[in-house]
Structure 1
Amino acid sequence: MAEDAYGVTGSARDLPTPPPAGDGHVAPNVLVSIGALLLGMLLAALDQTIVSTALPTIVSDLGGLEHLSWVVTAYLLASTAATPLWGKLGDQYGRKRLFQIAIVIFLVGSALCGMAQDMFQLIAFRGLQGLGGGGLMVLSMAIVGDLVSPRERGRYQGLFGAVFGASSVLGPLLGGLFTEHLSWRWVFYINLPIGIVALIVIATVLHLPRRSQRHVIDYLGTVLIATVAVCLVLVASLGGTTWAWGSPQIVGLAVAGVVLAVVFVGVERRAAEPVLPPKLFRIRTFTLAAVISFIVGFAMFGAMTYLPTFLQVVQGITPTMSGVHMLPMVVGLLLASTASGQIVSRTGRWKVFPIAGTGITALGLLLLHQLDENSSTALMSVYFFVFGLGLGLVMQVLVLIVQNAVAYEDLGVATSGATFFRSIGASFGVAVFGSIFAGRLGDRLADAFRGVPLPAGASVDALKADPHVLALLPPAMRQPALHAYASAITDVFLYAAPVALLGFALAWFLKEDRLRGSVTAPDATQTLASNPVERSSYDEVCRALSVLGTREGRREVYRDITARAGYDLQPAASWMLLRMKRYGAVEPGRLAEHGPVPLTVVLEAARQIETRRLARREGLDLILTGEGVQVAERLAGAREDSLSRLLGDWWGPDRPRDLVRLVKELNDELCGSRSEQPGEPDGTTDRPGRPG
């Protein structure tokens, strides 16, 4: 039995071999593989934003304005429903093969979307594309955990977050450029060369370790929850437009959705690994956060789908410039999301953000309702920014508070559950907004031209189906038609405002529990992704603790440990004392020679230890004195206290084995394992963590 530096005992046989504790350098093939993963993530992330800008042109080419929302909804529904399956199948059958399959499905869907000849074909192919997109999202993040150690993981997760942030900005711009200068079909064709490069690199370079982890896949639960979502979204989008609300079709869909939801609850109660455990809903914070997440998805994606239509049709802005005009919303979202996350991580206080975020989102929707065909660019930019600001304030915090409210064993599924409800909300938002828009547009156009003879080819039905028909109207008639479009689009924001206000009211009932130290602000992949990323509890804690793997993080860890123990030692000196306690001796020269710690830092720390008589020289080695043993013992105790603060009630007597494993891995990477000590028979050189 061996004891790690946190006081955890366990047999080495019980623990898998951790990734090698690197010296800050990663093998070139790993870097190339991560580049390919970033390309895969870019495909999925970009496709959520690039299409919206092209929608008005797509409708003009293919017709079917009343079905416009389904171009977005089909992708969201398919990717959301498929994500849990991709995650579990990757655990069972290997992520590399599954990731390649996801890329192929996505590329086939993209090619078929580009070749679509009518709106129904495009919607069907978008669903196929969404199936692959869900796999790209979840598997790319999971593979990073297979490739790099916890110490290195933080920097790469930051890259994935940057991809999401960049896609939010680039999507509208690229969508406009392709639509205006090439064809809307290039919005989909652009995926092909990127995906092929990623596929080739993954096939030739990516080598993953075999994983023995097995899961019981909740196929029935996944199919049921996807079917329930489809039924309810069909009711929301087709009711009152394609079919009357009281029609047998709508009533049948509604009844089917309710019955299947009841069956789903029964199935999940008996499932070995439920896709959405019912016990989570007994936690008030999770239930409230799930509802608020639904509302945020509803408002965000509903608005983002129709704002380009407003800008291009009503304002007469080119597709490219419509992407530029939407940048204030993206900037507001990213600024608020980043700032709120930093404040929460520093202060531990979070309740103000969901309250302020939902309130400002409701205000933003009411402001968007005020827009019309005469609104100035400056006014639109301000309103867009306010709306994005509200979304950014609330999105960042919802995942965090859910993670803080659940037991360790439910951490992964609760995280994906929170984003799952936002995905379902997005699907509903786009569908409901589409239904409202289609209904209001028909009514407004009919009112505007009742009894007025229209030019040939410019009937009310033609105007409703294709906004380009507006060009056939004489100037005197064009103004009322533009006003009809403007009011129909902005009315959807008015209808969405009470939903956001409901979220504002619910946010007041959230209980502001003290945050565990390990629960840091989520990265952008969790706050901007439209579909849930399925990760285990181990993966989630590893993500949160990966800050310990950064040079700054390690320095702060040792500074905190030293302060808790009541000493004024340098962080590097505390690190060296703990190494001596664990291994018996250190050789400062070899630490500097074979590790990335600067020689000046090592020598200064060694000088401080010797000056205070905490260690003595025996040849080239430093060995603890009696006083040094006492200091090291207090430092070790402070490290245990620090861990308790980080992991809270998760680090109890019954702590899970994989949590013990994570702590051991992080400890080995921070302090260096026994086999890495200089002078070992196998000649292994020392590669310590970097405190200084």
Structure 2
Amino acid sequence: MTTERIDRASVGLRSERGPILLAVMLSVGLVAIDATILATAVPSVVDDLGGFTQFPWLFSIYLLAQAVSVPIYGKLADLRGRKPIMLVGVGLFLLGSVLCGFAWSMPALIAFRLIQGLGAGAIQPIGMTIVGDIYTVAERAKVQGYLASVWGISSFVGPTLGGVFSDFISWRWIFFVNIPLGIAAAWALVRRFHENVVPRTSHRIDYAGAVLLAVGGSMLLLGLLEGGGVMWSWDSTSSIAILAGAVALLTAFVVVERRAAEPVLPLWVLSRRVLNSANSAALLIGVLMIGLSTYVPLFAQSVLGTSALVAGFALAAMTLGWPIAASVAGRIYLRLGFRTTMLFGACIVVVGSGLLLTVQPGSSVLHLAAACFVIGLGLGFSASPSVVAAQSSVEWQTRGVVTGANMFARSVGSAIGVAAFGAVANGVVAARLGDDHADLETLPGEVLAPAIHDVYYGAAGAAVLLVVAVLFMPNRIPEQPNRV
């Protein structure tokens, strides 16, 4: 077998796992805070740099770069080891942050966000892979709760810092704040994390597969993110050309991967029951998360009449429920099994989605927050066990690929969610006002309410599909050894 190995025992002896976990949490915190901190600063950025019509690309380009690079980083981590790829990711993220902080125009800021996205594409999946390497399945039951708590804390810290920097200092500090966190994470990884990666043979990098996946995946996500009237309509020449090109390139990617000696994304990832279930669940979780993060704050502000800060806290209830459930989920799947735990979580998501459908224009924001909290609980019970199950089903030399595929599936789910929910909301608005209507953010509450309510029906449908996806997960999965 052409591979490289890491000895978990040597990691435990030569470095303390606590500092390594802290470094991973700091690194993941960079990505988690960045997911929310920029949104509150957009008005200040536009006032300073201009380019109002271009600012959505600040988010799209970041998501594109992150999503398409994840599988590639996962493969490189299996070939070269986790530490160097993680350090590359942190380095790129910090470089992009510094450049964003000094950006002189909106196009420059968009370009530098691309660099940030390339760094983020390594940080989250490789961080999860490191945790899978140094902790057993039983230990990961508790550690997954720690990692989930990073996102919960960031959901409060990000918007707050973004508002403070924008109102009282400068929006540029939302990027500069990453520097001390990133340096601390890199220092801890360099000092504490030691891998015994022993090359057994020379490797043949699958450059053709990497390029086809990156370009084809970018075109697919671009078509989904910007279609349906965001940048162009679904039946426009641009949309058809981009999506057709994506299909052609991804088809070529499959052909290349069948023949590659060491494919960047081995096709066996698509043929294993546990991985198909885990990745399907990740895709649907991505759909649900984007639906909530996009439309819950909009409903709170435009329909319920709350402030932006209160709307953000309503959404934060979801990320509060997630780490609570994730910290408990480990104890459950160790006793009852993966499928049972994930099914329990998926059913809670269905209940939360049903509760969300009961939110009306006259409801309180607490009603909305309660629905988000319940959904967050369900996602915590579903998402964390699915990642652990996927990692536990493979050995070290393919764990990076498996983790990367799971993160990629969630990103694709987010893109699909943007396209599907946007089409639903725009369709309702067009039926009421005609095709020549304003953006969703500028519409009155009486028009937005039914549009967003139909989006919530779509989220409920995704929750039901999540139940179906987790039914295919085996209940017990023998943990694969870290030594061949």
Whether TM-score is above 0.5 comes out as yes
Distance verdict in 2 for CA 1:396–1:374, change over 3 Å:
same
Residue equivalent to 1:227:
215
Q: How far did residue 345 of structure 1 move?
A: 0.5
Counterpart of 1:495 (choices 440, 443, 458) is 458
Distance verdict in 2 for CA 1:318–1:256, change over 3 Å:
same
Question: What SS class does the counterpart of residue 273 from structure 1 fall into?
Answer: coil
Whether the 8 Å CA contact 2:281–2:383 is kept in 1: the answer is no
Correspondences of 1:536-685 after superposition (within 5 Å): 541-542=481-482, 658-659=483-484
Q: Which has the larger helix fraction?
A: 2
Distance verdict in 2 for CA 1:215–1:431, change over 3 Å:
farther
Residue equivalent to 1:303:
292
Alignment of 1:195 onto 2:182: yes
Amino acid in structure 2 at the alignment position of 1:276: L
Amino acid in structure 1 at the alignment position of 2:93: F
Distance verdict in 2 for CA 1:109–1:157, change over 3 Å:
farther
Q: How far did residue 53 of structure 1 move?
A: 5.3
Question: What SS class does the counterpart of residue 330 from structure 1 fall into?
Answer: helix
Following the alignment from structure 2 to structure 1, what is the Cα–Cα distance between the partners of residues 65 and 332? 35
Correspondences of 1:81-160 after superposition (within 5 Å): 81-89=68-76, 98-114=85-101, 122-140=109-127
Following the alignment from structure 1 to structure 2, what is the Cα–Cα distance between the partners of residues 121 and 489? 34
Larger RCO, structure (CA 8 Å, separation 6 or more): 2
Residue equivalent to 1:258:
247
Question: What SS class does the counterpart of residue 264 from structure 2 fall into?
Answer: coil
Residue equivalent to 2:417:
429
Q: How far did residue 270 of structure 1 move?
A: 1.5
Following the alignment from structure 2 to structure 1, what is the Cα–Cα distance between the partners of residues 232 and 306? 34
Following the alignment from structure 1 to structure 2, what is the Cα–Cα distance between the partners of residues 417 and 371? 35
CA deviations on 1:130-160 (whole Å, 9 max, x unpaired) are 10112333555667799xx779x99899668
Q: How far did residue 346 of structure 1 move?
A: 1.4
Alignment of 1:287 onto 2:280: no
Distance verdict in 2 for CA 1:166–1:98, change over 3 Å:
closer
Following the alignment from structure 1 to structure 2, what is the Cα–Cα distance between the partners of residues 17 and 391? 30
Residue equivalent to 2:477:
515
Distance verdict in 2 for CA 1:297–1:144, change over 3 Å:
closer
Distance verdict in 2 for CA 1:223–1:424, change over 3 Å:
farther
Amino acid in structure 2 at the alignment position of 1:484: V
Structure 2 unpaired stretches of 5+: none
Residue equivalent to 1:178:
162
Residue equivalent to 1:394:
382
Instruction: Say which one has the larger Rg.
Output: 1
Given the two structures, how large is their TM-score scaled by the length of structure 2? Answer: 0.79
The two structures, once aligned, show a CA RMSD in angstroms of 4.3
Distance verdict in 2 for CA 1:162–1:368, change over 3 Å:
same
Residue equivalent to 1:80:
67
Distance verdict in 2 for CA 1:420–1:364, change over 3 Å:
same
Residue equivalent to 2:224:
236
Distance verdict in 2 for CA 1:500–1:198, change over 3 Å:
closer
Whether the 8 Å CA contact 1:285–1:402 is kept in 2: the answer is yes
Following the alignment from structure 1 to structure 2, what is the Cα–Cα distance between the partners of residues 312 and 333? 23
Following the alignment from structure 1 to structure 2, what is the Cα–Cα distance between the partners of residues 15 and 306? 44
Residue equivalent to 1:619:
none
Aligned length: 473
Distance verdict in 2 for CA 1:64–1:442, change over 3 Å:
farther
Q: How far did residue 490 of structure 1 move?
A: 4.0
Whether the 8 Å CA contact 1:353–1:393 is kept in 2: the answer is yes
Amino acid in structure 1 at the alignment position of 2:465: L
Distance verdict in 2 for CA 1:51–1:313, change over 3 Å:
farther
Distance verdict in 2 for CA 1:218–1:154, change over 3 Å:
farther
Distance verdict in 2 for CA 1:209–1:376, change over 3 Å:
closer
Following the alignment from structure 1 to structure 2, what is the Cα–Cα distance between the partners of residues 110 and 223? 25
CA deviations on 1:27-71 (whole Å, 9 max, x unpaired) are 7xx977765554333212322344455568768986758974x54
Whether the 8 Å CA contact 1:71–1:122 is kept in 2: the answer is yes
Distance verdict in 2 for CA 1:145–1:49, change over 3 Å:
same
Question: What SS class does the counterpart of residue 19 from structure 1 fall into?
Answer: helix
Whether the 8 Å CA contact 1:177–1:320 is kept in 2: the answer is no
Distance verdict in 2 for CA 1:430–1:123, change over 3 Å:
farther
Question: What SS class does the counterpart of residue 351 from structure 1 fall into?
Answer: helix
Amino acid in structure 1 at the alignment position of 2:477: L
Whether the 8 Å CA contact 1:293–1:421 is kept in 2: the answer is yes
Structure 1 unpaired stretches of 5+: 1-13, 451-459, 471-479, 519-536, 543-657, 660-692
Alignment of 1:375 onto 2:363: yes
Counterpart of 2:401 (choices 404, 410, 413) is 413
Counterpart of 1:166 (choices 150, 155, 162) is 150
Alignment of 1:212 onto 2:175: no
Whether the 8 Å CA contact 1:51–1:187 is kept in 2: the answer is yes
Question: What SS class does the counterpart of residue 48 from structure 1 fall into?
Answer: helix
Distance verdict in 2 for CA 1:66–1:443, change over 3 Å:
farther
